[in-house]
Amino acid sequence: MITQVTPAEVASLIPNGATVAGDGFTMMGVADEIYAAIEQSFLDRGVPNGLTFVHAAGQSNRVDGLARLAHPGLLKRVVGPHWGLNPPMANVLGEDEVEAICLPQGQISTLYRTIAANRPGQLSTVGLGTFVDPRLDGGRINDSARAAVAPEDYVKLVHVDGREYLFYKSFPLDVAIIRGSKIDPDGNMSQDDDVTILDSLAIAQAVHNNGGIVIAQVKEIVERGDIPARLVNVPGVLVDYVMVTSDPAKYHKQTNSAIEVNMDLITGYASPQELADSIMANELEDVRIRIGERGAKLVRDGDIINLGTGLPGDSIGRALATSGQLAKVTLTVESGTYGGVPLGGVDFGCALHPAAIIGHPQQFDFYNGGGVDITFMGVGQVDGRGNINVSAFGGKAIGCGGFMDIVDGAKRICFLMVADSKHPKWVHDVDQLTFYGAAALDKGQEVYLASEHYLLQLTEQGWKVLEVDDNDAAREAASYIHNALY
């Protein structure tokens, strides 16, 4: 039988100096009350401390989730992909108060399974030529990490059959923090009302096989037999402790914006016209509409599409709904959703009325293997050689998220950006190399950039103007791109 603990007791289970892995995506699947208990214990008594925290996706709404753990001393090191919705963590990592290792989201997600299987690591082309490559930084993104960690501690360059790969190394995990809707006395845990299927099983397997402890936050303990076997996401042999949340509305949100999601919205069928109507009901600035419409011209009937957060998620679905093409393609999001209406901001990762929801690592297997026909991604900085930065700005550690995994496998890549931004997008050299344009061309990928003024395609000679609006601002922008950056 599992051992039940209270919120006041749960933090004492975590040893000082432990490596902790936690599940979640924005606020979906996040064991938020356990994080709150860890924070309070540290502030009150100074324990636990010196933790290395590992996470495969951003887990915050800017205030809750992993933002609670953004305390130097509580954390020694963070290994994760993204802190764009976690300003407290982005600040402590950017200010070099906690060691920061940034690895691609899909590589961490699939690495949990690699660790569980006791394999030494996994091979991938994801991250070659970027800051994750050990020839550059090996994922180390601040000075304290560079002082404590060697370039090849997490990622090693290897050659197989004359081809370069990055070898993402396995490492021990001591504590798992996972979340489910219900659990029985033997520890069989179900996530039957969660809006995503993330990494809880792989994290629990990896920690259990390393001799560590698995802690689950749930809403209720049910009787034996109340959970059908097919709805058990984590079997009881893997769970050591359970904590029933004291306030599901506060600490066990299904998405950030809705305390309890109406499951009919998550699983209920909606016709293509109903989906289009739902997308069109959301207001959007004219400039973002124009950018989406320009980028969507690259979509072909039958395409499987990935939408990144921000501008792509806001604009592409709308453009496809306007053109009548929405029913002829499939929209996907990295969390594992297919179809439906993807949500954005602090609800990114969830979709209303999806056709299917699969696991987080399985989605990245599909993405890494080339399953996406076209992906739409945002831009922080871009240079004339087609290099892109989306991961580091203004002294803050933003991270790459799933960006690297997705663009590595996509057949076509379209970056979307507001050209008339208050923050200049075009630079001579990007601050951090998140996308290496030359490597994409070498692999035969098609790379585009769409703004409110123009559509560009990356060539070996640089950006080629495919389309430009007939106005002075657009012509000036296109001329600048063509002349000034080379």
Please write the tens of the pLDDT for every residue from 334-372: 999 999 888 888 888 888 889 999 999 999 999 999 999
Q: Which residues contact 104 (CB under 8 A, 6 or more apart)?
A: 81, 126, 127, 132, 400, 402, 403, 404, 405
Domain check: are 44 and 105 in the same one? yes
**Residue-level pLDDT at 259:** 42
Nearest to 356 by CA among 466, 465, 196, 243: 196
What would the two tokens of residue 20 be? Answer: 């902790």
Domain check: are 154 and 232 in the same one? yes
Residue 334 annotated in active site: yes
287-341: pLDDT as tens digits:
999 999 999 999 999 999 999 988 998 899 989 999 999 999 999 999 999 998 8
- pTM exceeds 0.75 for this model: yes
Characterise 381 by phi-psi region: left (phi > 0), alpha (psi -120 to 50), beta (else). beta
Domain check: are 428 and 471 in the same one? yes
203 within a domain of the structure (yes/no) = yes
111-121: pLDDT as tens digits:
999 999 999 99
The residue from 219, 246, 273 where one domain ends is 246
Report the range of poorest mean pLDDT among 77-81, 162-166, 266-270.
Answer: 266-270
**Residue-level pLDDT at 455:** 95
260 within a domain of the structure (yes/no) = no
Domain check: are 44 and 132 in the same one? yes
Range of the domain at 54: 3-246
Domain check: are 241 and 271 in the same one? no
343 within a domain of the structure (yes/no) = yes
Number of domains forming the structure of the chain: 2
End-to-end alpha carbon distance in the chain: 66
**Residue-level pLDDT at 194:** 86
Domain check: are 189 and 92 in the same one? yes
Domain check: are 283 and 195 in the same one? no
Domain check: are 216 and 79 in the same one? yes
The residue from 212, 246, 280 where one domain ends is 246
CA distance 289 to 192: 36
426 within a domain of the structure (yes/no) = yes
CA distance 11 to 73: 15
CB atoms within 10 A of CB 468: 18
Residue 479 in this model has a pLDDT that exceeds 80: no
**Residue-level pLDDT at 258:** 61
The residue from 196, 214, 246 where one domain ends is 246
252 within a domain of the structure (yes/no) = no
CA distance 54 to 107: 12
Q: Kindly state the average pLDDT of the residues 396-419.
A: 95
Domain check: are 171 and 41 in the same one? yes
Domain check: are 359 and 235 in the same one? no
Distances (CA, A) of 402 to 245, 308, 447, 452: 30, 9, 18, 25
Q: Which residue has the higher pLDDT, 345 or 162?
A: 162
CB atoms within 10 A of CB 257: 15
176 within a domain of the structure (yes/no) = yes
Domain check: are 338 and 442 in the same one? yes
Q: Which residues contact 377 (CB under 8 A, 6 or more apart)?
A: 308, 312, 388, 390, 403, 406, 407, 413, 414, 415, 416
Domain check: are 38 and 115 in the same one? yes
350 within a domain of the structure (yes/no) = yes
223-240: pLDDT as tens digits:
999 999 999 999 999 999
Catalytic residue among 33, 293, 334, 452: 334
Q: Which residue has the higher pLDDT, 350 or 154?
A: 154
**Residue-level pLDDT at 129:** 95
Q: What is the band of 264 on the pLDDT scale with cuts at 50, 70, 90?
A: low
Note whether 294 and 224 are within 8 A (CB).
no
**Residue-level pLDDT at 22:** 98
The CATH number assigned to the domain holding 362 equals 3.40.1080.10
Which helix (DSSP H) or strand (DSSP E) does residue 145 occupy?
Answer: helix 143-148
165-206: pLDDT as tens digits:
999 999 999 999 999 999 999 999 999 888 889 999 999 999
Asked, as a colleague might, if the bond just before 235 is cis with ω within 30 of 0, I would say no
**Residue-level pLDDT at 484:** 47
66-123: pLDDT as tens digits:
999 999 999 999 999 999 999 999 999 999 999 999 999 999 999 999 999 999 999 9
- The overall average pLDDT reported for the chain is 92
